[in-house]
Amino acid sequence: MVTFSLERTAPLPLDEAWRRLTTWPRHGDAVPLTRVTVETPGPTRPGTVIVARSGAGPLAFDDRMEVTVWEPPGEETPGRCRLEKRGRLVRGWAEIEVRPGPGGRTRVLWREELDVRLLPSAFDRVLGGSGRYVFGRAVNHLLRRP
């Protein structure tokens, strides 16, 4: 099991950064070989189920997540979302937080705990580095594209 975090500052208002980060199907555009679907009718709220299918052919797997905390930002108040990973292969959680930053910008904090079943702990360092890299690129992509 590994835990990592990312921090970014974006030249966006809070609500726009939140929208870009929590429009779930957009995550599939940001993560290679991944398609994201929302199984629960909108809008997003606690209990919403999201599935990220990653890989190709027989090497694909589902990362099934449930929203357990949904606190959209106010005009000047932070927003926070927590997703519990409940797949057969991937477990853990992810938290997305947006808060006011300097000069009208938005500070984004992404925290994640990953546990990949059947992956020995000897690979934790590689998993943590890969997670930081992949999710860092995804966050950058999501924040840059309307």
**Rounded Cα distance, 124 and 60, in Å:** 21
Run of H or E residues at 72: none
Query: Taking every pair of C-alpha atoms in the chain, what is the biggest distance, in angstroms?
Result: 48
For residue 77, give Cα distances in angstroms to 101, 103, 112, 123: 11, 15, 22, 38
Handedness of CA 5, 71, 15, 36 (dihedral sign): positive
pLDDT for the residue numbered 112: 97
Reported as a pLDDT band with limits 50, 70 and 90, residue 95 is very high
Q: Average pLDDT over the chain, rounded to whole?
A: 95
Dihedral, 143, 37, 31, 93 alpha carbons, nearest 10: 80
Angstrom distance (rounded) from CA 109 to CA 49: 22
| Averaged pLDDT for residues 53-59 | 92
Quick one: pLDDT at residue 76?
79
Indicate whether 118 pLDDT > 90: no
Of the pLDDT bands very low, low, confident and very high (cuts 50, 70, 90), residue 141 is very high
Amino acid 144: pLDDT: 96
Mean pLDDT, residues 36-44: 95
